[in-house]
Amino acid sequence: MKNNLLLEIKDLHAWVGDKEILKGINLQIKKGEVHVIFGPNGSGKTTLLNVLMGFSGYKVSGKILLHGKDIINLPVDERARLGIGMSFQRPPAIKGVKLRNLITTSAMGKDDLMEDYAAKLNLTGFLDRDVNLGFSGGEIKRAELLQLILQDPEIIFLDEPESGVDLENIALIGEYTNILIGRHQEPEKGKTMKELYRQRRKSGLIITHTGHILNYLDVDIGHVLMEGVFACQANPGEMLHTITECGFEECFRCFRKEKEHGE
Amino acid sequence: MANNKDIQTGDLDLSLYHEVAEEHPEVADLSRLSSEDQKVLLMSGIDTSGKERSGSFFQKDHSVIHCQTNFDGAEIMSASEARKKYDWLKDYWGKAVPIDKDYYTRRADEHQQHGYFIRSMPGAVVHYPLQACLYLSEDKLSQDVHNIVIAEEGSKLNIITGCATAPNVRSGLHVGVSEFYVKKGATLSFTMIHNWAEDMAVRPRSAVIIEEGGTYISDYICLVPARDLQMYPTAIIKGKGAVATFHTVLLARPGSLMDVGSRVILQAEDCKAEIISRAVSTGGKIIARGDLVGEKPGIKAHLECKGLLLSDQGVIHAIPELQGKAANLDMSHEAAVGKIAQEEIEYLMARGLSENEATSLIVKGFLSLDIIGLPDDLKKELNRMIDETDTNAM
């Protein structure tokens, strides 16, 4: 099943200055799989996505294999062109650059669907506004979704997709996140749903503090990130339940216990 | 002004330029100009079809070769002819920009070859802009012009002027005195686009006098290299409730010096002024000046000066100044010089844009002012110009 692997992370470390943030991350994401990473603030979730995307400001070591090819030294834009897309938690506002202009410059030929998806995401009036300038939390997330749907990446990183989003927006964001990661499956004649699910080709890596997005999205595997390492891998639904009931305190407790045993 | 120490000789080597130009024949229609010339004009804001213009004026070197008005409420002609035609013009000539103000104003007076005269009649609403082009087609020629614009009481007037050099010209001198009179309740939008050869020296000397309730909006755009550009237009607000706005967009490449400012002197109560400039240097030097002088109560004025420095060789020197001379006025400024935030570049790169594409998109966004008070078509035209600006140098 090796050829089914889309993204493989091997012993990934990252430092900001002298401070080690990621301390040996290992992760495998197969084609069609969606993973979620839970973790308390400061555990290294955003750093992990930033390092996978190739942003500056980190010293890194280890391997990031996309289709078996190590991309750890590639610049951000080459990673994007190889099929990685990312939805930012707090993207910068870019004065004077209209959202329409950004999409037509970057959407890799899919901008003919722009008006259509903008209307579906209630963003029609936003196409002629400066990118993210004065957007509310929900508007930012919807604009990110619009850009990513048109970019059509193979693997999608979502950084806190529900943060700053009000109740009115969360269902819409959930719906289009499903479309983005290819989980929105309509029945088709002549094929069973099982067969259709097996055809899924898109993968996702979602990081979340609260886990609310899981009410709208089915994910396959859950992880807990603690102090720069994965502390746990389990059923994401159970994980969310535990974290909601007991908080990350329970994760810390478990993490320390296993660490003691390990040593 | 800092560079004008010597009123006798000026600050440029004038032996580089010659004074006598070949006379050019008139053209009935700007669309009959050569395609090279038309291309330059298009990038200078001039519509050679003249379709959506109320009138056109075209001066090539020292000859006015085309002049036409399509609208009864406005007129456009050579300033020298207007001076012969209208005796009353002596009440305006040299009144906003004194002839002996500096070396270049004196020089323009002594060497003047035309320039344009544009006037909107009282109460006239001139829907389509009038366009004027000052064109230099001979290398190392000096062109000295005197322009006069009068927006009569209650009129509305839009003007687009393009100052440009023909593709074969590398060097030259352009000296232009421009005097603007905005009468009671009138509105004048003046858009000036400079499209010079890289070795040009340019010395505009402009002043605006605004009466009660008048509005003056200036947009100045220079996105091409000019070796040495120095200007500091001044608006004097003389009547209550009048408004002056200056927008400036500059791009300096290596080897360019742009010393450009705007000044508004608010001499009446309840007046407003706004000066906004955007400067980008890819290696040239930009001095971005701004000066607001508030002399009466109830004045509101703001100055905003932002610079993007894309190269260690470049210099952006922002000099914002405020002078308040009465109680109960409100004046402010903000100035910022910096580089593009890495976060913005990487955000765009995450969408698949290369670093150069991302930089270029951000720079164009920075330069594209959302200009208030201009016709939509003109806004589109200006943004198109910014879009088409050569990004290789960025």
HEC-encoded secondary structure of chain B: CCCCCCCCCCCCCHHHCECCCCCCCCCCCHHHCCHHHHHHHHCCCCCCCCCCCCEEEEEECCEEEEEEECCCCEEEEEHHHHHHHCHHHHHCCCCCCCCCCCHHHHHHHHHCCCCEEEEECCCCECCCCEEEEEEECCCCEEEEEEEEEEECCCCEEEEEEEEEECCCCCEEEEEEEEEEEECCCCEEEEEEEEECCCEEEEEEEEEEEECCCCEEEEEEEECCCCCEEEECCEEEECCCCCEEEEEEEEEECCCCEEEEEEEEEECCCCCEEEEEEEEEECCCEEEEEEEEEECCCCCEEEEEEEEEECCCCCEEEEEEEEEECCCCCEEEEEEEEECCCHHHHHHHHCCCCCHHHHHHHHHHHHHCCCCCCCCHHHHHHHHHHHHHCCCCCC
Residues of B in contact with A56 (CB under 8 A): 342, 346
Q: Could you tell me if B349 lies within 8 Å of chain A, comparing CB atoms? A: yes
List the single range of A1-15, B120-134, B157-171 with lowest mean pLDDT: A1-15
Query: What is residue B4's predicted lDDT score, i.e. its pLDDT?
Result: 44
Pairwise CB contact (< 8 Å): A106 & B352? yes
Residues B295-318 have a mean pLDDT of: 94
Q: Which of B346, B348, B355 minimises the CB distance to A106?
A: B348
For residues B162 and B133, the answer to whether their CB atoms sit within 8 Å is yes
Pairwise CB contact (< 8 Å): A94 & B343? no
pTM of the complete model = 0.85
Contacting A residues, span 187-246, partner chain B, CB-CB under 8 Å: none
The rounded mean pLDDT for chain A is 89
Residues of B in contact with A147 (CB under 8 A): 351
Angle separating helix axes B342-349 and B355-367, nearest 10 degrees: 120
Q: Which of B344, B369, B370 minimises the CB distance to A94?
A: B344
Q: Could you tell me if B352 lies within 8 Å of chain A, comparing CB atoms? A: yes
Contacting A residues, span 44-63, partner chain B, CB-CB under 8 Å: 53, 55-56
Residues B197-209 have a mean pLDDT of: 95
Residues B351-367 have a mean pLDDT of: 91
List the single range of B3-12, B198-207, B277-286 with lowest mean pLDDT: B3-12
Residues of B in contact with A91 (CB under 8 A): 347
Residues B168-178 have a mean pLDDT of: 95
List the single range of A118-127, A225-234, B270-279 with lowest mean pLDDT: A225-234
Q: Å from B361 to nearest chain A CA?
A: 7
Residues of A in contact with B380 (CB under 8 A): none
Q: Å from B249 to nearest chain A CA?
A: 13
Q: Could you tell me if B34 lies within 8 Å of chain A, comparing CB atoms? A: no
pLDDT at A50 exceeding the cut of 90: yes
Residues of B in contact with A55 (CB under 8 A): 346
List the single range of A22-31, A162-171, B145-154, B256-265 with lowest mean pLDDT: A162-171
List the single range of A104-113, B223-232, B284-293 with lowest mean pLDDT: A104-113
Query: What is residue B204's predicted lDDT score, i.e. its pLDDT?
Result: 96
Q: Kindly report the CA angle at A220 between A214 and A140, in degrees rounded to 5? A: 40
- pLDDT tens readout for residues A153-201: 999 999 998 888 888 888 899 999 999 988 877 777 778 877 777 777 8
Q: Could you tell me if A86 lies within 8 Å of chain B, comparing CB atoms? A: yes
pLDDT at B376 exceeding the cut of 80: no
**Strand B199-210 versus strand B171-182 pairing type:** parallel
Q: Could you tell me if A75 lies within 8 Å of chain B, comparing CB atoms? A: yes
pLDDT band for position B393 (cuts 50, 70, 90): very low
Residues A207-212 have a mean pLDDT of: 86
pLDDT at B177 exceeding the cut of 80: yes
Pairwise CB contact (< 8 Å): A86 & B350? yes
The nearest alpha carbon in chain A to B341 belongs to A92
pLDDT at B372 exceeding the cut of 60: no
pLDDT band for position B5 (cuts 50, 70, 90): very low
Residues B213-238 have a mean pLDDT of: 94
Q: Å from A227 to nearest chain B CA?
A: 25
- pLDDT tens readout for residues A74-125: 999 999 999 999 999 999 999 989 999 999 888 665 678 899 999 999 999 9
Residues A124-145 have a mean pLDDT of: 94
Contacting B residues, span 355-394, partner chain A, CB-CB under 8 Å: 355, 357-358, 361-362, 364-370
Q: Which of A46, A56, A74, A97 to mutate to test the interface with B (most CBs of B within 10 A)?
A: A97
List the single range of A71-75, A123-127, B79-83, B361-365 with lowest mean pLDDT: B361-365
In three-state secondary structure terms, A32 is: coil
Distance CA A193, CA A186 (A): 9
For residues B325 and B343, the answer to whether their CB atoms sit within 8 Å is no
Q: Which of A75, A88, A97 minimises the CB distance to B349?
A: A75
The nearest alpha carbon in chain A to B369 belongs to A96
Top-confidence residue, B51 or A123:
A123
pLDDT band for position B394 (cuts 50, 70, 90): very low
Residues of B in contact with A97 (CB under 8 A): 361-362, 364-365
Q: Could you tell me if A91 lies within 8 Å of chain B, comparing CB atoms? A: yes
List the single range of A56-60, B150-154, B224-228 with lowest mean pLDDT: B224-228
Q: Å from B334 to nearest chain A CA?
A: 16
Residues B239-267 have a mean pLDDT of: 95
Pairwise CB contact (< 8 Å): B351 & A102? yes
Residues of A in contact with B354 (CB under 8 A): 77
Pairwise CB contact (< 8 Å): A151 & B364? no
- Identity at B286, one-letter amino acid code: I
Pairwise CB contact (< 8 Å): B361 & A75? no
Residues B367-371 have a mean pLDDT of: 71
Top-confidence residue, A100 or B388:
A100
Pairwise CB contact (< 8 Å): B365 & A96? yes
Top-confidence residue, B19 or B386:
B19
Pairwise CB contact (< 8 Å): A105 & B361? yes
Pairwise CB contact (< 8 Å): B362 & A80? no
The nearest alpha carbon in chain A to B361 belongs to A97
pLDDT at A263 exceeding the cut of 80: no
Query: What is residue B205's predicted lDDT score, i.e. its pLDDT?
Result: 96
**Strand A5-16 versus strand A19-30 pairing type:** antiparallel
